[in-house]
């Protein structure tokens, strides 16, 4: 089996240079936090027919900072404990966009990047197409599109919402001219869940959201390439300052034909931690580590930083099993860099 390698060093260097050169490009005369808070408040209270451009212009005026020769000034210092956390801001922004027509609310991070996988998994494709030469390149484009919207809100007085979300994650052999640049794998993930706001204290953390729902994930292929599973899950979201922690256990239901041993590799839970430092976001995913005795788990590290308006430079490193459905039982060690459009917060 031969796997070609296409260097992505040039692309990576170009992206890094663009990121470093654009970080400071935002207007220094604008109080960014004040602008964001103003925009959120106006989106919640404005009439449906109010143009978004009008809201932005009003907030730009209100958030102008006086010229103080580079010295920041403030009329009043924020009271201790009154600072809005990154997770609070994300929840408020999500609620604001839910009320706006013609706006799709992001769910998981939306990104596009060039990834490098030196040991691609060709075995399932060789089984499906024994007469063809399966020759994947080490470099491919990976992208994710994820959105959500509320179906019913405030089921129990002022709490309890029913949501639907859909996530599409694709692995595209864009540079593979020999195979006509196919999509090596695409995973489809629709899900429903009930969500409840909470404010309890647990081990020094503040409980913010609890969800219970149903999740389907598959790659939409016929046997022998078909991979799918269905789960009932819960998700417990905690925060402390700029740190957020999500613990997500699940129970597998339904038929597992074609991947009967999927829980041996993907387990029955995952833990995701996120931290906001200045304007950068760091996240770490751990899945099935304890259950497998640290032999069949997975780690994923993500880092993003703003470069221009809503665009963020994005890096993702994955090590372990289950980067995609076709690779649920195959060990991958991949690195990718590109752009993200939304993040966890």
53 is annotated as an active-site residue: no
Q: Are 3 and 119 in contact (CB under 8 A)?
A: yes
* Straight-line distance from the first to the last Cα atom of the chain, in angstroms, rounded to the nearest whole number: 42
Give residue 132's domain range. Answer: 9-18+107-342
| Residue 229 domain-assigned (yes or no) | yes
| Residue 232 domain-assigned (yes or no) | yes
| Residue 269 domain-assigned (yes or no) | yes
28 is annotated as an active-site residue: no
Q: How does pLDDT run along the chain (345 residues), one tens digit per residue?
A: 444 444 444 444 344 434 444 444 443 345 666 777 787 777 777 776 676 667 776 776 676 654 433 333 333 333 444 578 999 989 988 988 887 888 899 999 999 999 999 989 999 999 999 988 889 999 999 999 999 999 999 999 889 999 999 999 999 999 999 989 999 999 999 999 999 999 899 999 999 999 999 999 999 999 999 999 999 999 999 999 999 999 999 999 999 988 999 999 999 999 999 999 999 999 999 999 988 888 999 999 999 999 998 899 999 999 999 999 999 999 999 999 999 999 998
| Residue 100 domain-assigned (yes or no) | no
216, 226, 286, 292: the catalytic one is 216
Looking at residue 130, the DSSP 8-state letter turns out to be T
Q: Say what the pLDDT of residue 23 is.
A: 41
Rounded to 5°, angle at Cα 275 from 269 and 277:
165
| Residue 274 domain-assigned (yes or no) | yes
| Residue 236 domain-assigned (yes or no) | yes
218, 304, 324, 340: the catalytic one is 218
Q: Say what the pLDDT of residue 294 is.
A: 87
Distance CA(232)–CA(188), nearest Å, equals 17
Q: Say what the pLDDT of residue 42 is.
A: 78
Residue 326: which CATH number? 2.40.230.10
- Structural domains in the chain (count): 1
| Residue 78 domain-assigned (yes or no) | no
Model pTM greater than 0.75? yes
Token duo for residue 271: 């833990």
Rounded to 5°, angle at Cα 343 from 269 and 95:
90
Q: Say what the pLDDT of residue 155 is.
A: 94
């Amino acid at each position: 089996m031969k796997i070609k390698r296409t260097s992505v060093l040039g692309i990576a260097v170009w992206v890094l240079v663009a990121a470093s050169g654009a970080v400071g490009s935002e207007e220094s005369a604008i109080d960014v936090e004040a602008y964001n808070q103003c925009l959120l408040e106006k989106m919640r209270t404005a009439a449906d027919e109010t143009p978004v451009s009008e809201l932005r212009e009003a907030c730009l005026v209100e958030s102008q900072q006086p010229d103080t020769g580079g010295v920041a000034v403030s009329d009043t210092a924020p009271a201790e404990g009154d600072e809005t956390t990154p997770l609070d801001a994300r929840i408020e922004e999500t609620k604001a966009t839910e009320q706006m027509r013609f706006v799709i609310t992001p769910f998981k991070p939306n990104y596009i990047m060039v990834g490098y996988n030196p040991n691609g998994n060709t075995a399932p494709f060789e089984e499906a197409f024994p007469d063809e030469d399966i020759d994947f390149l080490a470099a491919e484009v990976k992208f994710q599109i994820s959105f959500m919207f509320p179906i019913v809100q405030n089921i129990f007085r002022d709490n309890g919402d029913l949501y639907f979300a859909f996530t599409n994650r694709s692995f595209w052999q864009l540079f593979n001219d020999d195979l006509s640049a196919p999509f090596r794998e695409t995973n489809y993930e629709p899900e429903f869940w009930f969500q409840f706001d909470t404010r309890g204290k647990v081990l020094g953390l503040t409980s913010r959201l609890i969800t219970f729902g149903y999740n389907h994930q598959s790659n939409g292929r016929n046997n022998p390439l078909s991979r799918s599973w269905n789960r009932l899950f819960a998700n417990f979201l905690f925060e402390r300052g700029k740190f957020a922690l999500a613990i997500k256990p699940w129970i597998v239901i339904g038929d597992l034909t074609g991947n009967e041993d999927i829980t041996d590799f993907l387990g029955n839970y995952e833990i995701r931690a996120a931290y906001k430092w200045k304007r950068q976001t760091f996240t770490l995913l751990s899945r099935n580590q304890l259950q497998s005795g640290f032999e069949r788990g997975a780690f994923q590290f993500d880092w993003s930083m703003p470069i221009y308006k809503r665009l963020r430079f994005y890096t993702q490193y994955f090590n372990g099993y289950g980067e995609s459905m076709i690779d649920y039982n195959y060990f991958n060690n991949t690195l990718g860099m590109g752009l993200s459009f939304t993040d966890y917060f």
